[in-house]
Amino acid sequence: MSESAVSTYTFPPALVTRADLAHLVREVEAIDNEFEAQKARARAAGKQVAYSMPNASRVMVDFLRLNSVDIADDKGRVLLKEQLRTLKDKAPIMHMTFAVEADPLSLSQLVTYLRKEIHPQTLLSVGLQPALVGGAFVRTPNHVHDFSLRERLGAKRDVIAQDLESLLGGGVVQ
């Protein structure tokens, strides 16, 4: 298996976190197990194998469609499982902490943007920290950025104090 084959997969917007990717891997494994069982039953009955696709999640359907993957192909399915397992361990992860819980639509839009601008297989690790007040705290493997309102206000403390002092008519503001 080559790294370039792994890097060609496109993730659907609903696949946001490593947990979502792990769920996709488990779903491919479950489909593989179901197809193998169907194959064994067909052989035991002396019939030709005709796969019946089990119910699949929306993320799975979108992933298969985006990547033009034929899940009924035995060799392709085994290769897909291996490559998705590799991606689960190697996909770039961006940790983002917000002051409030982010809704799924916002996370989908955010991950779509990150995949367009940073890496096509970026995953998010989302945290919650109410002390941020507003904004976000972003951590990548080699950078940390504080885009919180708390940080912005702290950086402008002297400007705020000056403005308050001038509003209060020269009184001392601590």
Q: What is the pTM of this model?
A: 0.78
Residues 127-163 pLDDT 10s? 998 887 788 889 888 888 888 877 777 777 788 778 8
* pLDDT 10s digits, 75-122: 989 999 999 999 999 999 999 999 889 899 999 999 999 999 999 999
Pairing of strands 93-98, 123-128: parallel
Taking CA atoms, 174 is separated from 35, 59, 134, 164, 166, in Å, by: 71, 54, 24, 10, 13
